[in-house]
Structure 1
Amino acid sequence: MAQRFRGTSTHKVDAKGRVSIPADFRRVLDAQDPDRDPGTNPSVVLLYGDTRNPWFDCYSVQAMEEIDELIDRMDEGDPDRLTLEEYFYSNAETMRIDDSGRLVLSQSLREQIGIGSEAVFQARGKTFRIFSPDVPTQATSRLKTRLDEMPPEVPVTSLLPARRRDPAE
């Protein structure tokens, strides 16, 4: 079973922009970067091109390889492919985690999403987000809004797609 990012936590950011990645996230990044050189730390791909949102999307090496394959299947010159290439390649930075389990966020990256002395890491399954704790919850979470739309007796699991029955059954 593939490992997933889970949980949300807030971490201190020092004056040089160093921030510790949650230990559970580091384990996922480590497992999903198996082809790196022996003795080196895993990498994470940080995407900063979607300026509509107050966060960065972060991908493991393996998750980025899956995206690469999807983009490679698209026709050359397809406007959607060109957009995706710019987002995933031109507006991305591959960062190696240091020996202390930290990332270094440059001043310009921190300024882009308003990160000061703390950063929030929010799991999204195959990816995770980094954002300022000053960002309103409704900007980074849809959970409360969706739950408010649902009757209390309906479990959250009802949102999962139903298993498809095998026609041979």
Structure 2
Amino acid sequence: MNRFLSNATNRIDAKGRVSVPAPFRAVLAERDIQELYCLQDMVYPAISVGGLDLLERYERQIALLDPFSPEANAMSLLVHGGGVFIRLDAEGRLMVSDFIRSFTGISTEVTFVGRSDHFQLWQPQAFHEAQAAAREGRSQAAVRPV
């Protein structure tokens, strides 16, 4: 498996660490991702997590813009100013830092959500609500006449 799929909720321990689900760690190992780039999602109250390729994808988009444009400036502010690098510890855990908590509202549990080439960290109820809204939007689109 070389994609992040499905979702799982894990409890944060007393030291503020949470275990990354084993299937996600397997994808990280297969892709040889040692250092994780974490970015505040631009739509949802979630942290997107991936390898250097995730950062590079956003930087390619920024490079297509006029570097002096408000759009390029705003994208850089989000991608560079809203991102950090982290590492997993030897047991496959990540620290749920203030950077993560303040943006997502995560407190005692983290829902890990696969997004194909990266995964996200969500507050569990926020994920369930966003997924339900997405499902409702898709079902309404399916019944609309063309």
Structure-1-length-normalised TM-score: 0.71
Measure, in 2, the Cα distance between the counterparts of 1:11 and 1:74.
39
TM-superposed deviation, 1:18:
0.5
Aligned CA distance change for structure 1 residues 145 and 89 (closer, same or farther; 3 Å):
same
3-state SS, counterpart of residue 68 of structure 1: helix
Measure, in 2, the Cα distance between the counterparts of 1:136 and 1:47.
17
3-state SS, counterpart of residue 2 of structure 2: coil
TM-superposed deviation, 1:58:
1.9
Structure 2 counterpart of 1:150 = 142
Structure 2 matches for 1:11-160, cutoff 5 A?
A: 11-33=10-32, 42-48=34-40, 50=42, 53-107=44-98, 109-135=100-126, 137-141=128-132, 142-151=134-143
Measure, in 1, the Cα distance between the counterparts of 2:54 and 2:127.
28
TM-superposed deviation, 1:113:
1.9
Unaligned runs of 5+ in 2: none
TM-superposed deviation, 1:98:
1.1
Structure 1 counterpart of 2:2 = 3
3-state SS, counterpart of residue 90 of structure 1: coil
Measure, in 2, the Cα distance between the counterparts of 1:139 and 1:120.
12
CA RMSD between the two structures: 2.4
Aligned CA distance change for structure 1 residues 148 and 137 (closer, same or farther; 3 Å):
farther
TM-superposed deviation, 1:33:
4.2
3-state SS, counterpart of residue 137 of structure 1: helix
More helix by share: 2
Contact 1:122–1:128 (CA<8 Å) still a contact in 2? yes
Measure, in 2, the Cα distance between the counterparts of 1:67 and 1:4.
19
TM-superposed deviation, 1:105:
1.4
TM-superposed deviation, 1:150:
2.1
Measure, in 2, the Cα distance between the counterparts of 1:140 and 1:103.
24
Structure-2-length-normalised TM-score: 0.81
